[in-house]
A and B are shown apart, each in its own frame.
Chain A
Amino acid sequence: MSIADYFKPVDTMTPDEVRAFLDRHKPDVYNLVDVRQPKEYERGHIPGSRLIPVAELPGRLAELDPKKPTIAY
């Protein structure tokens, strides 16, 4: 990840938009990423989300399919 990546525009979705998106699509057509800490994930997460804490993201980007839309929370 380069410094330029920090300035790339990122679309945001409201929780209702995310819920509607997840309802309309099968889990294998998107990346859903929980970037919080493991304990927070254990307490509650959106079903099917992958836990990749934000500090680990740069080293674990290969786990996400770049061809699919990614929703992070």
Chain B
Amino acid sequence: MEGGMHAWQGLTAAGAPDAGMSFFTVGSRPEELIALAWTLEEGSRKFYASIAGTLADNEAAKLFTDLASAEGHHKSTLLGLYRDIAKVEPGPDFPASVIAADEDRMEGGVKVSEALVWAKGRDDRGLLEMSMALETDSYDLYIKMGRRVKGENAKEVFGRLVVEEKAHLGRMAAQLDKQL
């Protein structure tokens, strides 16, 4: 690519190659990656649901409510994949039964509690920009997870999550444009 990274003005993720996975003891088993993704989706859902009520702009508030709902759908998709691959029903102790999960983490590997403290008093634009950074890291992570998992079904599910995270980014970018 001409000009290398200095010339790039598109989406940019941050962190080491295994960022997002390094907060957990995660191997290459699809069950572990699914449990990790589920944990991060739940963290993001909690974050988006919390800040939706704090936004001044109704459209932005609706966007974050929709995003919280979408993360909930992702969790269901991941549970379906878990059932398919592990051949067992995820119990009430899921995902702790699969990985040593930190329930306070969300997409981007950020702590939900810290993100909520940071978000207090921020304007809509600041929240949108921060959330876009999180979704970009999540998009990056799911591409890498899709590469790591074995099996066509698992790859297809992570591929679908990649497409959906990218769609979220598109909606956030459109909303941010309105704020500028």
Contacts and interface: CB of A to CB of B under 8 A. Distances in A.
Contact of B1 (A18, A27, A44, A47): A18
B31 interface: no
Interface string A27-60: 1100000101010111111111011000000000
A28 B139 contact: no
Given A15-B8, A28-B155, A42-B15, A48 B139 contact: yes
Interface centre among B1, B8, B147, B162, by most chain A C-beta atoms within 10 angstroms, is B1
| Size bin of chain B's contact surface | 20 to 34
B140 A48 contact: yes
Interface in B132-173: 136-137, 139-140, 143-144, 146-147, 155, 159, 162-163
Contact of B159 (A28, A40, A51): A28
Interface in B1-48: 1-5, 7-17, 19
B37 to A, nearest CB: 15
Max count, chain A CB within 10 A of own CB: residue among B5, B13, B19: B5
A61 interface: no
A15 B1 contact: yes
Contact of A38 (B2, B7, B16, B143): B16
A72 B1 contact: yes
Given A12-B1, A15-B3, A28-B146, A47 B155 contact: no
A18 B4 CA distance: 11
Interface of B: 1-5, 7-17, 19, 136-137, 139-140, 143-144, 146-147, 155, 159, 162-163
